[in-house]
Each structure stands twice: as structure tokens, then as C-alpha cells.
């Protein structure tokens, strides 16, 4: 941990200005991941700009339908909010499947999206890691890879994104509102996080001074019966081996629309477009669900310790769709 400067921003523009002017500056939300990384020497910001007190702490219906979630809303408040529980149960379930009660009380909506991988080599400054130190090599390849990616990984990085909430948001086609040095813009959550490629140090498409101010959920009738299923080693307080966020619109035994995202399989929440396409118009049967899962996983590239993730994610998806149908 290095000595650092601490500033508290009064509004979003001031926060962005503070960070924009300092290459070593970064935003501080709940701090549940960033402060850990600072202690470990994984992140060494010279200045923290605290945005946790900015007025983005409400969950409100949007005029044209849908819901706006302020980026400073704590995970526990969001999970318990009646609008979320009634209209987007998948999001409430995903939040409650993440971390612990104490962490959820502190962690914010914006911060949850921007938490970084828990790859053991990323978190250990004594081992090479391309994400932490570009060009130093990937220690996970040839090492302990039980938690690592089977989809969309690169030679440079096989890390997974740890968020549960982000998987639900990707499935729901949520968008993030971003305040940056050049004004505000919207980014779909499904496009917020990157695949590692040759730049695994970049988790998202955001710039250093881009601040997430809100997450917007679209109006989505089928989301009222959405669900989140997380498979993990412990009954609670463990990162996903595999997770599935899904919603299914079935009429007369035929799938009209499926929405599916996987967690624990890739560098980003994995929206399962192939599986969704396979299911469109298909009978709502176990065989069709299995075919959809296999279509999505056809290009999976397991590592030494995580070949199990292929059958586990297939079975989990089939099980979730069976329950939803």
C-alpha cells in the first residue's frame, strides 16, 4: 500500500474533473474491492476521489417505463427494493447470491460493475500477470485454473469477471449512464466489459475519468419471472463456478423468446446469444434446452482444472430453463 490523497467529490462533474486531471487518481465507491487491492499492492492509486456520497442513491421508475438505479445505491438496498423484487427478481437474486451481508451493505451498484477479477495470480504481486502488469505473462496458464474462463479468453488472460449483479444486468439489457470529461453517454452493460484480447489490463470500455452515475433497466414483462442460479463450492459467500441469469417467454409449449447470461465463464458477463437464437421458436422441452446449451458451449476452451465447467454450465442452464418453462 502506498500513501495516497483522499478527496470527496461534491458532484459528478467535479469528481470527473478531479480524476481527469490526475493519471494516478481513481474513484472510490464502497471500497470493498479497491481497498483490498490497495493493501495487496495490486492497485496503487495516488488519489482516491470518493463518489459514495454523490446523490445517486435512489431507485426510481423511469417516465417511459423501466427503472433507474443510482450508482451509489448499496447492493443490499437494491436487492431489497420492491420495484426490483417484483419486476426484476433475477437482479435481486443475483445481488443476494453475491458476497456477504456486510459487504453488500457497503458495495455500490457502480462499484459492483467495476470490481476486478479475483484470479489468484492477479491478486498476488509476486507472480506475473498480464492484467496487473501488461507483458509480464499469465501465471494462470499452467497454474491453478479452477475458477477461470472457458469462453472468450485469450492467450494473455483467462480471468473471469466476478460479479453476479452484472450477469443479471447483461441478461436484462440494462444500460449504464456514464459521466465523462466530454459529457454523458449511455453504454449497454453487455458492452461495458471487454474480452481480454491483447489488452487484459482493460476490464471495461470506460476511460480513467468515466464515472458511472446510474444503471437503467428497460421495461421488460418477461423479467417478472426471471431467475438467477449460482453454482458454487459453498452454500454462501463464494464466487460462482457457474451462474445463469435467465428469463423465458413461452406460449403454447413454444419458446417465443429466451434471455440468458452466464457468469463465471468469461472475462465478462456472457450473454448467450447462440443459445437464445437456438431457442427462438423451439419447443420448450429438455431436449431443446440441452441443444441450446450445447450450441452456446460448442466453442468452450477449458483449461487444466476447469473442464467441469462445460457440463456444469450446460446442466445448470437446462435446470434453470426447465424450472422457468
Partner 1 sequence: MRVSPRNSPAFGTEAAAVETGGTSLAAVAPAETAPAEVAPERLGASRERLDGPAKVTGTAPYAYEHPVEEPAYLHPVQATIARGRVTSIDTGAAEAVPGVLAVLTHTNAPRLADTEDAELAVLQSDAVAFRGQFVAAVVAETPESARHAADLVRVGYGEQPHEVELGPEGGTPAARTDHGDLEAAMASAAVVLDRTYTTPMQHNNPMEPHTTIAQWTADGLTLHESTQGVYSVRSVVAPVFGLDPEQVQVFAPHVGGGFGSKGLPHAPLVLTALAAQRSGGRPVKFAVTRQQMFALTGHRTPTSQRIRLAADDRGRLSAIGHDALEHTARIKEFSEGSSTASGIMYAAPNRRITQRLVPRDVPVTSWMRAPGHCPGMHVLETAMDEMAQACGVDPVEFRIRNEPELDPLSGKPFSSRNLVACLREGARRFDWQRRDPAAGVRREGDWLVGTGVAASTYPTHVFPGSSARIRYEGGRYAVFIGAADLGTGAWTALAQIAAEALEVPFEVVDPHIGSTEFPTATVAGGSTGITSWGSAIVQAATSFRDQYGTQPPEGAEAEGATQPNPDAERFSMHAFGAQFAEVRVHADTGEIRVPRMLGVFAAGRIVNARTARSQLIGGMTMGLSMALHEHSVLDSRFGHVVNHDFAGYHIAAHADVDSIEAAWIDEHDPHVNPMGTKGIGEIGIVGAAAAVGNAAYHATGVRVRDLPLTPEKFLR
Binding site for partner 1 (CB under 8 A): 1-3, 39-41, 118, 120-121, 123-124, 126-127, 139, 142-144, 231-239, 241-242, 308, 311-312, 315-316, 318-319
CB nearer partner 1, residue 278 or residue 316:
316
C-beta atoms surrounding 201 within 10 Å: 15
Backbone angles phi, psi at 30, to 5 degrees: -75, -20
Structure-block grid coordinates of residue 10:
461534491
d(CA 16, CA 161): 25
- Residues 218 and 230: their CA atoms lie apart, in Å, by 23
Q: How far apart are the first and last CA of the chain?
A: 51
Shorter beta-carbon distance to partner 1: residue 1 or 62: 1
Measured from the CB of residue 43, what is the shortest distance to partner 1 in angstroms?
A: 13
Rg of the chain over all Cα atoms, to the nearest angstrom? 19
CA 112 from chain centre, in angstroms, equals 7
Residue placing its CB nearer to partner 1 in the complex, 76 or 179: 76
Taking the least distance from each CB to partner 1, the nearer of 143 and 180 is: 143
Report in angstroms how near the CB of residue 260 gets to partner 1 at its nearest: 16
Residue 83 or residue 120: which is nearer to partner 1 going by CB?
A: 120
As measured in angstroms, the least distance from the Cβ of 89 to partner 1 is 20
27 vs 121, beta carbon nearer partner 1: 121
**Cα 98 from Cα 55, distance rounded (Å):** 25
CB of 3 to partner 1, least distance (A): 6
Report the C-alpha gap between 65 and 44 in whole angstroms.
41
CB of 239 to partner 1, least distance (A): 7
d(CA 269, CA 284) in angstroms, rounded, equals 25
**Residue 21 vs 311, nearer CB to partner 1:** 311
Min separation Cβ 119 and partner 1, Å: 10
What is the 8-class DSSP label of residue 221? G
| In the complex, minimum distance from the CB of residue 274 to partner 1, in angstroms, rounded to a whole number | 21
Q: Which three cell numbers stand for residue 268?
A: 465478462
Nearest-angstrom CA–CA distance, 189 and 95: 16
Amino acid at each position: 500500500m502506498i500513501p495516497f490523497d483522499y478527496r470527496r467529490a461534491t458532484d459528478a462533474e467535479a469528481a470527473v474533473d478531479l480524476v481527469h486531471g490526475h493519471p494516478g487518481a481513481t474513484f472510490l465507491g464502497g471500497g470493498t474491492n479497491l481497498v483490498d487491492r490497495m493493501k495487496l499492492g495490486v492497485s496503487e492509486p495516488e488519489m482516491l476521489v470518493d463518489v459514495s456520497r454523490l446523490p445517486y442513491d435512489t431507485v426510481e421508475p423511469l417516465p417511459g417505463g423501466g427503472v433507474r438505479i443510482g450508482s451509489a445505491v448499496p447492493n443490499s438496498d437494491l436487492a431489497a427494493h420492491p420495484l426490483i423484487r417484483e419486476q426484476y427478481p433475477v437482479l435481486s437474486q443475483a445481488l443476494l447470491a453475491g458476497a456477504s451481508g456486510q459487504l453488500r451493505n457497503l458495495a455500490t451498484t457502480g462499484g459492483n460493475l467495476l470490481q476486478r477479477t479475483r484470479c489468484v495470480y492477479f491478486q498476488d504481486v509476486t507472480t506475473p500477470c498480464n492484467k496487473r502488469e501488461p507483458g509480464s505473462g499469465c501465471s494462470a496458464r499452467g497454474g491453478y485454473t479452477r475458477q477461470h474462463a472457458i469462453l472468450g479468453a485469450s492467450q494473455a488472460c483467462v480471468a473471469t469477471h466476478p460479479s453476479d449483479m452484472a450477469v443479471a444486468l447483461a441478461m436484462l439489457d440494462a444500460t449504464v449512464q456514464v459521466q465523462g470529461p466530454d459529457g454523458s453517454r449511455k453504454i449497454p452493460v453487455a458492452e461495458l466489459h471487454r474480452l481480454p484480447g491483447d489488452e487484459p489490463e482493460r476490464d471495461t470500455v470506460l476511460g480513467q475519468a468515466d464515472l458511472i452515475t446510474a444503471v437503467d433497466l428497460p421495461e421488460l414483462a418477461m423479467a417478472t419471472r426471471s431467475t438467477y442460479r449460482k453454482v458454487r463450492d459453498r452454500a454462501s459467500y463464494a464466487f460462482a463456478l457457474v451462474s445463469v441469469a435467465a428469463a423465458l417467454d413461452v406460449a403454447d409449449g413454444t419458446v417465443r423468446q429466451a434471455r440468458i447470461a452466464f457468469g463465471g465463464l468469461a472475462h465478462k458477463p456472457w450473454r448467450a446469444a447462440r443459445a437464445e437464437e437456438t431457442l427462438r421458436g423451439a419447443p420448450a422441452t429438455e431436449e431443446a434446452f440441452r441443444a441450446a446449451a450445447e450450441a452456446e458451449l460448442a466453442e468452450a476452451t477449458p483449461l487444466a482444472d476447469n473442464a467441469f465447467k462445460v457440463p456444469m454450465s450446460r446442466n445448470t442452464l437446462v435446470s434453470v430453463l426447465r424450472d422457468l418453462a
